[in-house]
């Protein structure tokens, strides 16, 4: 399944839905209610529910048979597939060649940092910032794992059972703040600096998350191009590692790291400006495109 959050009008709160193969979107709460199955309006609530996959499947089956809750894909707008994660956990230096391009040592264990949940934004939203606060805004293509079942002290062998699916993410970074502060939270957590989308692709539709092409295009130019086969620490290891320290909850986001080619390390550097467009792609998961703009521009 491809699970996202959508709106039919700009004013309404987003509702969780499933994008089907025939270019339609099923409103899961509406179709579920008609079928006698309660489904929360938000994706985080859906993932927290018992037997959430089966409930979503029943709602889709009912919608396809009756037409209840079915919308044309071009008649809805996409919100962030997860709008209120409890945690946004990120992994730094998780591609060997990315660590090397910044003259960083290869880590012996995952390097974790966080982005605040208020940095999350959707696939059709602008990423914006105050140019007086930061002048070095950078892009980072990432595969994002979405937690689907609570994980606390899980072994790597069972870690993937706790993952609901995968998203495309852009770990937007204010490099002057990141490097100037001596720690990364502020530079990584400006409002809108964690665009995700377009939908959550559930794990059953991803044959091997460690063998997916990943790329970033800035204004149409390919600047990052790699594969998740180059991850130093796989998703199973990352989920297990995180869970030893803190509980992962349904809807939590795990940004798994970026490959080489980020703007700050290019010669000359390629840093984002008002009016730029960045597209992040992950094979089989989708593409995420955002406009970049100064606040108030």
Look at residue 238 and tell me if it is in a domain. yes
Please tell me the distance from the alpha carbon of residue 108 to that of residue 24, in angstroms, as a whole number. Answer: 45
Asked whether residue 119 falls in the same domain as residue 260, the answer is yes
Q: What residues contact 158, with CB distance under 8 A and at least 6 apart?
A: none
Among 44, 78, 112, identify where a domain stops: 78
Asked whether residue 274 falls in the same domain as residue 143, the answer is yes
Q: Is the pLDDT of residue 217 over 80?
A: yes
Asked whether residue 132 falls in the same domain as residue 240, the answer is yes
In this prediction, residue 137 carries a pLDDT of 98
Asked whether residue 237 falls in the same domain as residue 260, the answer is yes
pLDDT category, 152, cuts 50, 70, 90?
very high
Helices (H), the chain: 28-34, 43-48, 52-66, 96-101, 156-159, 175-181, 185-188, 235-245
Q: What is the mean pLDDT of the chain?
A: 96
pLDDT digits (tens, 9 = 90+) for 109-142: 999 999 999 999 999 899 999 999 999 999 999 9
pLDDT digits (tens, 9 = 90+) for 71-91: 999 999 999 999 999 999 999
Asked whether residue 74 falls in the same domain as residue 95, the answer is no
| 3 state SS for 217-252 | EECCEEEEEEEHHHECCCHHHHHHHHHHHCCECCCC
Number of domains in the chain: 2
Q: Is the pLDDT of residue 99 over 90?
A: no
Asked whether residue 74 falls in the same domain as residue 149, the answer is no
pLDDT category, 297, cuts 50, 70, 90?
low
Helices (H), 140-260: 156-159, 175-181, 185-188, 235-245
* Confidence (pTM): 0.96
Among 15, 46, 78, identify where a domain stops: 78
Asked whether residue 166 falls in the same domain as residue 205, the answer is yes
Hey, how many other C-beta atoms are within 10 angstroms of the C-beta on 26?
26
Look at residue 116 and tell me if it is in a domain. yes
What is the Rg, in whole angstroms, of the alpha carbon atoms belonging to the chain? 19
Asked whether residue 135 falls in the same domain as residue 60, the answer is no
Look at residue 257 and tell me if it is in a domain. yes
What mean pLDDT is predicted for residues 6-31?
93
Asked whether residue 139 falls in the same domain as residue 52, the answer is no
Among 59, 78, 97, identify where a domain stops: 78
Asked whether residue 151 falls in the same domain as residue 35, the answer is no
Domain residues for the domain of 226 are 88-294
Please tell me the distance from the alpha carbon of residue 201 to that of residue 206, in angstroms, as a whole number. Answer: 7
Q: What residues contact 264, with CB distance under 8 A and at least 6 apart?
A: 102, 136, 138, 175, 271
Cα 227 to its chain centre, rounded Å, is 17
Look at residue 83 and tell me if it is in a domain. no
In this prediction, residue 10 carries a pLDDT of 75
The percentage of residues in the chain with a pLDDT greater than 70, rounded to a whole number, is 100
Asked whether residue 136 falls in the same domain as residue 178, the answer is yes
Q: What is the CATH number of the domain that holds 152?
A: 3.90.850.10
Peptide bond into 93 cis (omega under 30): no
Q: What residue has token string 């919608």?
A: 63
Asked whether residue 119 falls in the same domain as residue 16, the answer is no
């Amino acid at each position: 399944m491809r699970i996202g959050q959508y709106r039919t009008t700009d004013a309404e709160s987003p509702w969780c839905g499933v994008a089907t193969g025939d270019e339609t979107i099923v409103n899961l709460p509406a179709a579920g209610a008609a079928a006698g199955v309660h489904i929360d309006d938000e994706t985080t609530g859906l993932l927290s529910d018992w037997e959430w996959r089966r409930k979503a499947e029943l709602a889709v089956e009912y919608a396809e048979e009756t037409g209840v809750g079915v919308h044309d894909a071009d008649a809805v707008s996409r919100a962030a597939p997860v709008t209120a994660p409890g945690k946004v956990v990120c992994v730094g230096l998780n591609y060997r060649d990315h660590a090397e391009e910044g003259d960083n040592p290869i880590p012996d264990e995952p390097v974790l940092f966080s982005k605040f949940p208020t940095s999350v934004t959707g696939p059709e939203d602008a990423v914006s910032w105050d140019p007086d606060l930061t002048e070095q805004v950078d892009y980072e293509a990432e595969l994002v794992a979405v937690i689907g079942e609570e994980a606390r002290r899980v072994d790597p062998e069972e870690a993937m059972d706790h993952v609901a699916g995968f998203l495309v993410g852009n770990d937007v970074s204010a490099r002057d703040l990141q490097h100037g502060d001596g720690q990364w939270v502020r530079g990584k957590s400006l409002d809108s600096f964690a665009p995700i989308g377009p939908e959550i692709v559930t794990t059953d539709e991803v044959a091997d998350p460690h063998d997916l092409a990943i790329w970033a295009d800035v204004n149409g130019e390919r600047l990052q191009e790699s594969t998740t086969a180059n991850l130093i620490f796989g998703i199973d290891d990352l989920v297990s590692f995180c869970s030893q320290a803190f509980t992962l909850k349904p809807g939590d986001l795990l940004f798994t790291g970026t490959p080489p080619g980020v703007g700050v390390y290019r010669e000359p550097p390629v840093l984002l400006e008002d009016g730029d467009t960045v597209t992040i792609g992950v094979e089989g998961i989708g593409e995420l495109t955002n406009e970049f703009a100064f606040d108030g521009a």
